[in-house]
Amino acid sequence: MADPETASIKTSLEGPPRQVHLPDWTIDPANAKNWSTPKKLYNTAVPSLLCFLMSVRPVSDDYR
């Protein structure tokens, strides 16, 4: 009787080789490293300001 682990390895290696698509990161517009400086600033500033503003309200309530 064949070992089930070995049998699964053999079946996965049979057949034609699969094509593997590797993206080219240097021209990928979804990669944040390729964004323009204004887009990077916007996508950093908006979440930062929202986090800051959400924390101001509870602190300001303590000083009233």
CA distance 34 to 25: 8
Number of domains in the chain: 1
Grade residue 17 by pLDDT with cuts at 50, 70 and 90: confident
Residue type, 5: E
Residue 6 lies in a domain: no
Residue 59 lies in a domain: yes
Answer yes or no: is pLDDT of 1 > 60.
no
pTM of the model: 0.53
Instruction: Report whether 34 contacts 26 (CB < 8 A).
Output: yes
Place of tokens 């979804």: 30
Q: Convert the pLDDT of each residue in 23-51 to its tens digit.
A: 777 888 888 999 999 999 999 999 999 99
Q: What is the extent of the structural domain holding 53? A: 31-64
What are the tokens at 28? 């990928």
Residue 14 lies in a domain: no
Grade residue 11 by pLDDT with cuts at 50, 70 and 90: low
Model pLDDT, residue 60: 83
Residue 41 lies in a domain: yes
